[in-house]
Each structure stands twice: as structure tokens, then as C-alpha cells.
């Protein structure tokens, strides 16, 4: 589907504990070396995708709105400077508020090559696709040699996790196995990120008791209260018909099953979308909109939106736990799909990467499956394509939203 693994990292003989990665100027290490094509309005979407079609190691993200949005720009800039990204081509139509030239400038400031153009300036679809493909080829050649290859170990990894299409097995097998893996990752010096505060409704005390410090406890309490107030005002809790059909009855029940993915280590604090965890350990990602006069933005309108937030936090690899089954993938960071439902795993085996169900049937312990998951993640980090990568899934979703982020600059609008 337009990509192969010729530009993937090479595995070392001791593949399961150490592999080679690309060192970026900010010191972070990348497990892929991608050219990212970014479009700045829906009108440029088709051209951007045509540029990337059949190009190796080239992926697409973009923002549909013509009027710009600080949140969306921050999100795109975090993705553009993700450790797995080596270069960026930004493509606009020419009328829109969001400026491809500004995006390219910020990317160049990060020590990566970047190009941009407006479709109107180049004279339309065909000329833009041709020019775009030439620029992608040039950028790809550039980044093959630009970044030094260095050793990477599990302690360098940032891994994000969310769940979707949950059923009664998610809280019993899928999420607990991820939780045990997160414990191992944190113990190895790595960074684990979980999200979906709206799926922690009913768990205020449980979360509070996991805080690593009084500051973290206050941040968790504040994030909880905001999420609860949000759910009350929109009258929407994070449950869906598939959850109920799968045996989950209430948001509290789903919450506790979802929270199991956080494992047992102390929670260091709360980050917002497009922020990076300031130090290793376990972190909660808050993607719930902050109060704003226009009230726009649902918290996670679909699974892909949440995955984008985890990638923007710097996750090298992202995990998606499902009970009912899912076929999504992701750009920038490979997605690994996990289920605790043996029937789902067998029925959708071409899409599901990892089966956590043996823990339900006495065939393996949670610890054993967590070790196996670590090996799966290290294999993907060292260059093996995950199933969504192989199938060509690169879903993305960037929306209008508002978050107060005092720690961040206002992106392109500053």
C-alpha cells in the first residue's frame, strides 16, 4: 500500500532487548524514518494523498478546516516533529488560514528538512502531484543519511494505550495484560501513557490513590472533575451500543476495566494534547476540551482521535485494546491491536496483533502475556510491520477543539 520496509531499522542479533533507531536533534530516538505529508485544508486532501500514493515510508495527515484552530495546529506540529518523522512536506490550497509555510518553518527549526507549496501557485492537481512526488523523493533521500543511527532499548520507549469496542473481556484480560506490560516498561525506565479520562467516571478515589505526589493528586482530581462536568453537560458518557451488547452495563464498570490498562505504578501527572511527558514513568493524557466560549469539540468522538493524541505525546508505538474487534491503523507511530476475546482474535486474525485471552482460560498468566507483549512491541520497534501497517491502515483524525495549555506556545498563531 505505497510503503515497504526497505527504510525500516535493522535488527541486531540480540533483537529482543536492543535495536537501532534514528537519533533526532532533540535527543529523542525514532523507530521509523518517515516523510510526513501534511495538508492544511480539506481542499488539499486529495492532492496530498495522491502525492503519498505508492511512495515508500511516506504518510499523510491533515486538517480539514479552512479557519485555523490553535489546538489542531499544536497537534499537527507535535506530529510533524515526532521522533518517527524525518521530514515534512506541507501542502495547502492557497485560501486557508492554516499556513503550510509556517509548518515547514517550525519543522526546519527542529533540525528536519521540510518543504511546502500552495496548489493554486503550482497550477492545479496534476502539477502539484508531480511537484509533490519530486519533493518527497528529495526529502526521503536527504533523511536516509542525515540522522545518526543509535542503539535503542525498552527504557527509551514511549508507549501509549487506549481501548475501544470494549466488552466484558477487556477489563479481565486485554487491559490487565497492558497494565502488567506498563509496569514492566516503567520499571525498565520507559514512559507509559494512558488516556480516556471520560472512561474513569466513578473512579475519582481510585485515581487519587495512585498519584506519585501531592501535585499529581491535585492534577488527577482536577482532570476528573473536568471530565465529569463535561459528561454531565453533554449528557454523553463514553459507552456505546457495542459495549452493552458485549456485557458492559454502566460507565463505572467500563471505567474500571479501562483503568486496568494503567497497571500499578504511581501516576506521575497529567499532560494535555501535544505535550510530551517531562520525564519517564506513567502519565495520564487529558484530551477533554477545556471550557471555551464556542464550546466546540467532543472529547474523543472516535477511536482514531484518541490515538492521534497519544502519538502527539511522542509515543513510538501505540496499543489499542478491543473486545469486539477493530480494523483501524495509524500514521506516524505503528499501532498494535490487542484483544482479550478469543473469538474476536480468531474471527479477525488478519487484523489483530495480539491475543490476551489465554489468561482467561488458564493457559497463561497475566505476567506471561505481558512479557510476550513486550517482545511483540520490541519487534515492531525494531522494524517488523504491525498488522495494521502491513494492511496499509493509516487512519487519522484532527478536529476543532479547545484546550488551555499554558505550558505551550500558541503554535503558528503566536
Partner 1 sequence: MGILQMEKKTKAIQIHCDDNVATLIDDLPSPGAVSILGGVGARDVIGTVSIQAGHKVALMRIAEGQPVMKFGIPIGRATRTIEPGQWVHLHNLISSHDERSGTLDLNTGVPTDSAYR
Closest contact distance (angstroms) between CB of 177 and partner 1 is 15
Q: Determine if 334 is a binding residue for partner 1 (CB under 8 A).
A: no
User: Minimum CB separation from partner 1 for residue 176, in Å?
Assistant: 10
Task: Return the closest-CA partner of residue 408 out of 25, 17, 77, 32.
Answer: 77
**Residues 290-329 close enough to bind partner 1 by CB under 8 A:** 323
- Which cell goes with 242? 457495542
Q: Give min distance, CB of 246 to partner 1, in A.
A: 5
Minimum Å gap between C-beta 327 and partner 1 is 20
The least CB distance from residue 393 to partner 1, in Å, is 26
**Secondary structure of 241-260 as H, E, C letters:** HHHHHCCCCCHHHHHHHHHH
Is residue 228 a contact residue for partner 1 (CB under 8 A)?
A: yes
Please give the Cα distance from 43 to 209 (Å, whole number). 48
Q: How far apart are the first and last CA of the chain?
A: 38
d(CA 195, CA 259): 9
Check: CB of residue 305 under 8 Å from CB of residue 289. no
Find the binder of partner 1 among 90, 304, 341, 403 (CB under 8 A). 341
CA atoms within 13 A on the CB side of 300: 26
Continuous H helices in 168-316: 175-187, 204-208, 214-234, 241-245, 251-259, 303-312
Contact set for partner 1, span 162-221 (CB under 8 A):
167-169, 171-172, 201-203, 206
Phi, psi of 28 (to 5 degrees): -75, 155
Of 9 and 168, which has the nearer Cβ to partner 1? 168
Residue (33 or 243) nearer to partner 1, CB: 243
Q: What residues from 246 to 275 belong to the interface with partner 1 (CB under 8 A)? A: 246-253, 256-257
Tell me: does residue 240 bind partner 1 (CB under 8 A): yes
Cβ at position 222, least distance to partner 1 in Å: 18
21 vs 348, beta carbon nearer partner 1: 348
Query: Which residues are at the interface with partner 1 (CB under 8 A)?
Result: 167-169, 171-172, 201-203, 206, 228, 231-232, 235, 237, 239-253, 256-257, 323, 341, 343, 360-361
Amino acid at each position: 500500500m505505497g510503503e515497504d520496509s526497505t527504510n525500516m531499522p535493522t535488527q541486531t542479533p540480540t533483537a529482543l532487548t536492543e535495536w537501532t533507531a534514528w537519533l533526532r536533534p532533540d535527543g529523542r530516538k525514532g523507530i521509523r524514518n518517515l516523510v510526513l505529508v501534511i495538508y492544511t485544508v480539506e481542499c488539499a486532501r486529495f492532492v496530498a494523498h495522491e502525492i503519498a500514493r505508492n511512495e515508500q515510508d511516506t504518510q499523510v495527515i491533515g486538517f480539514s478546516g479552512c479557519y485555523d484552530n490553535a489546538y489542531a495546529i499544536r497537534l499537527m506540529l507535535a506530529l510533524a516533529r515526532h521522533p518517527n518523522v524525518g521530514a515534512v512536506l506541507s501542502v495547502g490550497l492557497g485560501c486557508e488560514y492554516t499556513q503550510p509555510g509556517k509548518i515547514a518553518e517550525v519543522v526546519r527549526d527542529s533540525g528536519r528538512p521540510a518543504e511546502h507549496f500552495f496548489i493554486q501557485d503550482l497550477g492545479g492537481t496534476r502539477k502539484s502531484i508531480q511537484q509533490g512526488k519530486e519533493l518527497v523523493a528529495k526529502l526521503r533521500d536527504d533523511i536516509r543519511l542525515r540522522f545518526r543511527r543509535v542503539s535503542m532499548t525498552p527504557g527509551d520507549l514511549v508507549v501509549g494505550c487506549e481501548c475501544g469496542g470494549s466488552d466484558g473481556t477487556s477489563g479481565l484480560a486485554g487491559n490487565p495484560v497492558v497494565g502488567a506490560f506498563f509496569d514492566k516498561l516503567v520499571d525498565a525506565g520507559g514512559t507509559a501513557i494512558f488516556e480516556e479520562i471520560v472512561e474513569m467516571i466513578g473512579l475519582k478515589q481510585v485515581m487519587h490513590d495512585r498519584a506519585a505526589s501531592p501535585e499529581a493528586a491535585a492534577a488527577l482530581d482536577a482532570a476528573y472533575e473536568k471530565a465529569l462536568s463535561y459528561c454531565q453537560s453533554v449528557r454523553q458518557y463514553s459507552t456505546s451500543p457495542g459495549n452493552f451488547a458485549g456485557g458492559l452495563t454502566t460507565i463505572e464498570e467500563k471505567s474500571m476495566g479501562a483503568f486496568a490498562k494503567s497497571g500499578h505504578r504511581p501516576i506521575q501527572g497529567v499532560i494535555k494534547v501535544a505535550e510530551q511527558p517531562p520525564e519517564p514513568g506513567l502519565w495520564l493524557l487529558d484530551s477533554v476540551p477545556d471550557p471555551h466560549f464556542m464550546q466546540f469539540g467532543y472529547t474523543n468522538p472516535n477511536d482514531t482521535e484518541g490515538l492521534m493524541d497519544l502519538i502527539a505525546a511522542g509515543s513510538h508505538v501505540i496499543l489499542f485494546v478491543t473486545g469486539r474487534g477493530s480494523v483501524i491503523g495509524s500514521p506516524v507511530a505503528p499501532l498494535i491491536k490487542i484483544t482479550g476475546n478469543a473469538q474476536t482474535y480468531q474471527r479477525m486474525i488478519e487484523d489483530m496483533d495480539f491475543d490476551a485471552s489465554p489468561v482467561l482460560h488458564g493457559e497463561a498468566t497475566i505476567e506471561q502475556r505481558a512479557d510476550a507483549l513486550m517482545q511483540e512491541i520490541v519487534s515492531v520497534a525494531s522494524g517488523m510491520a504491525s498488522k495494521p501497517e502491513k494492511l496499509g491502515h493509516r487512519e487519522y483524525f484532527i478536529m476543532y477543539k479547545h484546550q488551555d495549555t499554558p505550558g505551550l506556545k500558541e503554535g503558528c498563531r503566536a
